[in-house]
Structure 1
């Protein structure tokens, strides 16, 4: 089946101009039909486009708020851009491609990811601290819970006292990491998308695969506001 430039752009999560440039550069096969281009869906599925620029901290938070079911405090144009990204993410999951890579590319500015270490006997106490919001491997939805590893988000203004109280130190060659702390200017809402992004940051096959599973289960569940998340951009 063939599609036009506009639909190809929506599926890839890029602009029409970007698709036209890909055609001009012969990076995307297309056939001229009158004044329009016709693109075979098979060729489009094979095309690996750049994953995209990282979102700014504000847009990253908006993206995560949208995924968690809240309307971001952004203008309509920015929300439309974020919805285009959610559509692309859903299609990446459906195609079995690389949703973990997308999230790594888009969301590095959501927080500072720190590899820390705490005494094994104190890990549970640190994870129970209300200042730390569990996510990543420590969220049950990740399916990767371990008594030897913890992960969560802490507000940047609360990070120093949290570290001091629990004697949290930097991990290194002689001190293995057992606590991943994401220090954020504003802690994002925890959703399957945030959990998947946290798993993707491990840059390992097992975690990437589990990120895909978390997203696929979320999409399959339908546990989201479709109108809020996608607007008119249905996947």
Structure 2
């Protein structure tokens, strides 16, 4: 058990949890768990969080975790993606690893809009709600909007809603993340990362809940 934990870069307790969860094949011989080398080879974890993924790779990871087919991946990119996912399932801190990988998933823009427009803005078909505005977070909508938008649509959305940049004396109540490709629904992991980048305990708890649900296949 200790040798396996050392090779994977995790604590022995984590290895035992992976075995009981069915994520690591092992055979119990007497009082010891025996894990085949081939099984460990697919689960070895490099402790370094690594560099942020390019937006295309970040989206591919998020879609693959939800059982969707990422578009336009080469064989090499697909192999690398599957290796990342195997490592993520074995990681002790999946939220921390995802934050490192997905840090460059989109271009964030902080804006200000009239408070009276907030409820209607949430229904704009050009945006996809995420983070605190995502119903999957379990948080109340509040007086702000958090969403993703196509880069090409960002100027239109800003003009339609008379948005101005946040700055001194103008606190942001709209947080948009501009992307080149916008799915019909923001991937759950992206929404979890938006929450994880906030300091509040409710947001952190909601992020962890979404990540657990994704990794457990719920």
For Structure 1 versus Structure 2, the TM-score category normalised by the shorter chain is: 0.7 to 0.9
Match of 1:172 among 162, 167, 173: 167
CA contact (8 A) 2:95 2:211 kept: no
Change in Cα spacing, 1:79 to 1:204, as seen in structure 2 (3 Å) is: farther
The aligned residue for residue 75 of structure 2 is 76
Q: Unmatched 5+ residue regions in structure 1? A: 13-37, 39-46, 224-235
Name the SS of the counterpart of 1:157 in structure 2: coil
The aligned residue for residue 191 of structure 1 is 187
Which gives a bigger RCO, structure 1 or 2 (Cα 8 Å, sep 6+)?
1
CA contact (8 A) 1:139 1:145 kept: no
| Cα separation, 2, equivalents of 1:90 and 1:5 | 14
The aligned residue for residue 23 of structure 1 is none
Deviation at 1:156, TM superposition (A): 0.6
Change in Cα spacing, 1:120 to 1:137, as seen in structure 2 (3 Å) is: same
Change in Cα spacing, 1:122 to 1:140, as seen in structure 2 (3 Å) is: same
Change in Cα spacing, 1:206 to 1:50, as seen in structure 2 (3 Å) is: farther
Deviation at 1:151, TM superposition (A): 0.9
Matched residue count: 184
Q: Unmatched 5+ residue regions in structure 2? A: 12-36, 38-44
Q: TM-score, with normalisation over the residues of structure 1?
A: 0.68
- Computed over aligned residues only, the root mean square deviation of the Cα atoms, in angstroms, reads 2.8
| Cα separation, 1, equivalents of 2:136 and 2:56 | 26
| Cα separation, 1, equivalents of 2:109 and 2:174 | 8
Query: Aligned runs of 1:1-235 on 2, under 5 Å?
Result: 1-3=1-3, 8=8, 49-72=47-70, 73-92=72-91, 95=92, 97=93, 99-188=94-183, 189-220=185-216, 222-223=217-218
| Cα separation, 1, equivalents of 2:82 and 2:201 | 27
1:203-223 per-residue CA deviation (whole Å, 9 max, x = no partner) reads 554423321111113334x24
Name the SS of the counterpart of 1:110 in structure 2: coil
Deviation at 1:134, TM superposition (A): 1.0
| Cα separation, 2, equivalents of 1:210 and 1:51 | 22
1:62-95 per-residue CA deviation (whole Å, 9 max, x = no partner) reads 1122123222221223222222322333334xx4
Name the SS of the counterpart of 2:147 in structure 1: strand
| Cα separation, 1, equivalents of 2:88 and 2:5 | 19
CA contact (8 A) 1:103 1:200 kept: no
| Cα separation, 1, equivalents of 2:206 and 2:212 | 10
